A and B are shown apart, each in its own frame.
Chain A
Amino acid sequence: MNTFFARASRHVGFQVGAVLLLLFVGTALVSLLWTPHPIDALNMRIKLTPSSPSYLLGTDHLGRDVLSRIMVGAQTSITVGLIAVAIGLTLGVALGAWAAARGGWVDEALSRTSDLIFAFPAVLIAILITSVLGASAQNAILAIAIFNIPVFARVTRGAALAMWSRDFVRAATAMGQGPVGITLRHVLPNIASVLIVQATIQFAVAILAEAGLSYLGLGAQPPVPSWGRMLRDAQTYIFQAPELAVWPGLAIALAVLGLNMLGDGLRDLLDPRLRLLRVG
């Protein structure tokens, strides 16, 4: 572990990523307790005002403080991203580990199913899913999670299969340990690093996806602020208040950049030979 920190202190990308992530999570945490203005304080008299000392990033089309809404928007991004990745991680790892341990038809069924999901145009299917279930943050999470499951399943399966051919696992099998025990005791702990790295990258992908769905009006519903939705609203006022279209996008880009840099950094630090799936 010491060497991890020693190497991390020399890895600029990892550090930049970590700082951006801290900023992202910190903003969300602060916004739980305090925002410069209440996020739903309508005031039509000051709509679309440019930035000023009391409204640092100006106000939107209903006269609400943009900075406050961006801060709370971080909560939305984190919630949606975190839950979507958690669902994908839990189910994907379970399925992938099962396929690796059991082989045969389980493995075949898993690869057919993930082939199927990867073959679908993701954006269109996500739009369809939210159309079926209704536009809301929960359903956006579900739509994103569905595409996360096969990503984790594949990564887990690949890494776990490699483990199953290692001598110490063979020895454990020979000593009569069952597949569940081996998976929990030997396989999963040894592939944890690849999963952590993949989860970081998927978190970034999920935030991008949430922003896209919200931009189409299919994510979190107003008055809950979400960055994608803010961009959608801002585009309507692009001639009057162009800067409104800048801030939410910048927030998305920085959050995603942070996670991507952190993910790549983690990979370098934990295991430089890892191959990652990039889908999305």
Chain B
Amino acid sequence: MDSLSRRHLFGAAGTLMGALATLSVLGADALISEARAQGPAKDRLVIGISLEPPVLDPTKNAAAAIREVTTPSIYESLGRIDRNGAIGPGLAESWSISEDGKEYLFKLRPGVTFHNGEPFDASMVKFSLDRLFAADSTNPAKSLYTDIDKVEIVDPATVKVTLKSPNSFLLYSLSLGDAAIMTPKTAPTNDKSPVGTGPFVFKERKEGDSITLEKSPTYRDPGSIKLNTVIFKIVKDPSAQVNALLAGDIDAFPGFQAPELVERLKKDPRFAVVIGTTEGEVILATNNGKKPFNDLKVRQAIAHAINREELISAESGYGVPIGSHFAPHNKAYVDLTKTYPFDIAKAKALLAEAGYPNGFEATLKLPPVGYAQRAGEVMANQLGKIGIKIAISSLQWPQWLSEVFKERNYDLTIVAHTEANDLDRYARDGYYWGYDSPEFKAKWREVLAATDFTKRDELLKEAQRIVSRDAVNGFLFQLAKIGVWKKDLVGLWENSPTPQVDLTGVYWK
């Protein structure tokens, strides 16, 4: 009896304890699943970026990260680059171009206000464009705008831009963040507290950590913006980027930089991994002004020695082979990867013809970026196979800019040219490749003068062929844009025709 009751007692207690435990577990579960269901608040988005924007004003500094964060979210320009790289109306509603390609008449959008309450009109456009090409301009892209002769206010809603010589890329250049329209009142302080006309206003910045934007109350079309808060979180290291995504600290990484880690993310059902294209041509830049690279045969030999399949494999398979300096997704692209196909015997023969039967020694100066470091080791190996003995030297960016780019003190380097329409660099005097071709320069003048875009595309193809034929540089591959984001996030760009993160059409499902 005694033992029985005791057993009962224990039994009851046990049941009670069990029930409590179950309850608490269920309760916790319910709480957790509730938190999960809520997930990230539906109007808040945390975007990971790998490089920190130094300042928040694209007219003061060349860093691509500034454009990612500020355009077109904070600042807008006259034109607007869409997800396919096409140019549409921005702060200018429409425009017309004169027959000779020298006069542009911009009709401005009505009802636009700056974040500080100032109404937008032609005077701000004149102010912003004037400071692009002024003598004391410190705009990093000043050279894009030096064809402009003058900017005139026709009426508060119309601006006329007159060029010294035609420039068929002007509309594109005026759509970049470098030509963002600002008000004279805040222009000096925009690097720290940016004020523009875009759909988001700057809220706060924590250096080395994050930049927070909020939906602008004064935006002209408030209904089109679904996000209230956007946080750009800086995560430099690739493995930390993966961790932040896996831990749910970041919702989206539009420009994920580590192809070798993508597999890990693909395994996770929460994420969509979207592979798109960029404007980044990775080239083995060659000092055409220096022996032995001034010899076409040597450059052709190098071109034949390039095994693009192997290079792209080092990028974990992400990247598209290129044979000239032009992005494959552009409609004026022509495939020139077979101009000098991979052929070691031919490469050796060309080297021997050039007078280097036993090859020669050369240095390969690499900037501190993942693709260059990876491609650098592979490239050194491939060139070694035709007898070119490569010594690799890793440089910090400042050194690369001074030594390689400015002083042209180099043999070979690997770098991605990420600007759109950057074929024009082959027509520049004193550019770091030391390429000086009257033929190409003449062709490029034709390209600039062509106001008919179909004709311009044909001319661009011819220009690509010249560069490819002359083997100015080793043309390796086009960088892929690897975007990783939560599956229920809609509207981010798949491709990256320009380094922007356009948030206007982005929402949570």
Residue contact A221 to B396, C-beta cutoff 8 Å: no
**Which single member of B261, B310, B396 contacts A42 (CB below 8 Å)?**
B310
| Given A62-B314, A223-B377; A134-B239 close (CB under 8 Å) | no
- Minimum CB–CB distance from A225 to chain B (whole Å) comes to 11
Q: Mark A235-250, 1 if CB is under 8 A from B, else 0.
A: 1111110000000000
Residue contact B393 to A134, C-beta cutoff 8 Å: yes
| Given A44-B310, A131-B396, A235-B239; A222-B260 close (CB under 8 Å) | no
**How far is A235 from B380 in the complex, measured between Cα atoms in Å?**
22
Residue contact A135 to B394, C-beta cutoff 8 Å: yes
> What residues of chain B lie closer than 8 Å to A134, measured between beta carbons?
393, 395, 399
Interface size class of A (residues with CB under 8 A): 20 to 34
Residue contact A222 to B310, C-beta cutoff 8 Å: no
- Minimum CB–CB distance from A230 to chain B (whole Å) comes to 12
Any B CB within 8 A of the CB of A114: no
Q: Mark A194-222, 1 if CB is under 8 A from B, else 0.
A: 00000000000000000000000100011
> What residues of chain B lie closer than 8 Å to A222, measured between beta carbons?
373, 376-377, 380, 392
User: For window 194-212 of chain B, which residues contact chain A by CB distance below 8 Å?
Assistant: none
> What residues of chain A lie closer than 8 Å to B242, measured between beta carbons?
239
Residue contact A236 to B393, C-beta cutoff 8 Å: no
> What residues of chain B lie closer than 8 Å to A237, measured between beta carbons?
260
**How far is A239 from B242 in the complex, measured between Cα atoms in Å?**
10
> What residues of chain A lie closer than 8 Å to B314, measured between beta carbons?
44, 61-62
Any B CB within 8 A of the CB of A111: no
Q: Mark B222-266, 1 if CB is under 8 A from A, else 0.
A: 000000000000000011001000000000000000101101100
Residue contact B392 to A223, C-beta cutoff 8 Å: yes
**How far is A136 from B391 in the complex, measured between Cα atoms in Å?**
11
Any B CB within 8 A of the CB of A40: yes
Residue contact A136 to B393, C-beta cutoff 8 Å: yes
> What residues of chain A lie closer than 8 Å to B374, measured between beta carbons?
61
**How far is A240 from B263 in the complex, measured between Cα atoms in Å?**
9
Residue contact A61 to B260, C-beta cutoff 8 Å: yes
| Given A44-B310, A223-B381; A240-B260 close (CB under 8 Å) | yes
Residue contact B393 to A221, C-beta cutoff 8 Å: yes
**How far is A44 from B308 in the complex, measured between Cα atoms in Å?**
12
Give how many A-B residue pairs fall within 8 Å (CB-CB).
58
Q: Mark B354-383, 1 if CB is under 8 A from A, else 0.
A: 000000000000001010011011101100
For the residues of A in contact with B, the DSSP-based class is loop
**Which single member of B261, B263, B368, B391 contacts A221 (CB below 8 Å)?**
B391
- Minimum CB–CB distance from A220 to chain B (whole Å) comes to 10
> What residues of chain B lie closer than 8 Å to A217, measured between beta carbons?
368, 394
Q: Mark A65-100, 1 if CB is under 8 A from B, else 0.
A: 000000000000000000000000000000000000
- Minimum CB–CB distance from A217 to chain B (whole Å) comes to 6
**How far is A124 from B238 in the complex, measured between Cα atoms in Å?**
24
**How far is A239 from B239 in the complex, measured between Cα atoms in Å?**
9
**How far is A182 from B239 in the complex, measured between Cα atoms in Å?**
60
Any A CB within 8 A of the CB of B96: no
Q: Mark A97-139, 1 if CB is under 8 A from B, else 0.
A: 0000000000000000000000000000000000100111000
| Given A134-B393, A222-B376; A238-B239 close (CB under 8 Å) | yes
Residue contact A40 to B368, C-beta cutoff 8 Å: no
Any A CB within 8 A of the CB of B146: no
- Minimum CB–CB distance from A238 to chain B (whole Å) comes to 6
Any A CB within 8 A of the CB of B22: no
- Minimum CB–CB distance from B159 to chain A (whole Å) comes to 47
Q: Which residue of A lies closest to B261 (CB)?
A: A239
**How far is A238 from B264 in the complex, measured between Cα atoms in Å?**
11
Q: Which residue of A lies closest to B238 (CB)?
A: A236
> What residues of chain A lie closer than 8 Å to B264, measured between beta carbons?
239-240
Q: Which residue of A lies closest to B399 (CB)?
A: A134
**How far is A134 from B380 in the complex, measured between Cα atoms in Å?**
19
Q: Which residue of A lies closest to B363 (CB)?
A: A221
> What residues of chain B lie closer than 8 Å to A62, measured between beta carbons?
314, 377-378, 381
**How far is A62 from B314 in the complex, measured between Cα atoms in Å?**
7
> What residues of chain B lie closer than 8 Å to A42, measured between beta carbons?
310, 377-378, 381
Residue contact B239 to A223, C-beta cutoff 8 Å: no
**Which single member of A40, A136, A223, A236 contacts B258 (CB below 8 Å)?**
A236
Q: Which residue of B lies closest to A134 (CB)?
A: B393
- Minimum CB–CB distance from A91 to chain B (whole Å) comes to 27
> What residues of chain B lie closer than 8 Å to A135, measured between beta carbons?
393-395
**How far is A136 from B380 in the complex, measured between Cα atoms in Å?**
17
**How far is A47 from B261 in the complex, measured between Cα atoms in Å?**
14
| Given A42-B310, A236-B239; A221-B394 close (CB under 8 Å) | yes
**How far is A42 from B260 in the complex, measured between Cα atoms in Å?**
17
Q: Which residue of B lies closest to A41 (CB)?
A: B381
- Minimum CB–CB distance from B123 to chain A (whole Å) comes to 46
> What residues of chain B lie closer than 8 Å to A44, measured between beta carbons?
310, 313-314
Q: Which residue of A lies closest to B239 (CB)?
A: A238
- Minimum CB–CB distance from B34 to chain A (whole Å) comes to 31
Q: Which residue of A lies closest to B243 (CB)?
A: A239
- Minimum CB–CB distance from B190 to chain A (whole Å) comes to 31
- Minimum CB–CB distance from B327 to chain A (whole Å) comes to 25
Q: Mark B102-141, 1 if CB is under 8 A from A, else 0.
A: 0000000000000000000000000000000000000000
> What residues of chain B lie closer than 8 Å to A131, measured between beta carbons?
396, 399
- Minimum CB–CB distance from A229 to chain B (whole Å) comes to 10
> What residues of chain A lie closer than 8 Å to B393, measured between beta carbons?
134-136, 221
- Minimum CB–CB distance from B9 to chain A (whole Å) comes to 53
Q: Which residue of B lies closest to A131 (CB)?
A: B396
User: For window 42-61 of chain A, which residues contact chain B by CB distance below 8 Å?
Assistant: 42, 44, 47, 61
> What residues of chain A lie closer than 8 Å to B396, measured between beta carbons?
131
> What residues of chain A lie closer than 8 Å to B399, measured between beta carbons?
131, 134
- Minimum CB–CB distance from A261 to chain B (whole Å) comes to 34
> What residues of chain B lie closer than 8 Å to A221, measured between beta carbons?
391-394
Interface set of B (CB-CB < 8 Å, partner A): 238-239, 242, 258, 260-261, 263-264, 310, 313-314, 368, 370, 373-374, 376-378, 380-381, 384, 391-396, 399
**A-B residue pairs in contact (CB < 8 Å), sample of 22:** A40-B381, A42-B310, A42-B377, A42-B378, A47-B313, A61-B260, A62-B314, A131-B396, A131-B399, A135-B394, A136-B393, A217-B394, A222-B377, A222-B380, A222-B392, A223-B380, A236-B238, A236-B239, A236-B261, A236-B370, A238-B239, A239-B239
Please provide the 8 A-B residue pairs with the shortest distance between their CB atoms, ordered closest to farther.
A44-B313, A239-B264, A42-B381, A221-B392, A135-B394, A222-B377, A222-B392, A44-B310
Known pairs A44-B314, A61-B314, A131-B399. 6 more at Cβ < 8 A? A42-B377, A61-B374, A221-B391, A223-B377, A223-B381, A236-B239
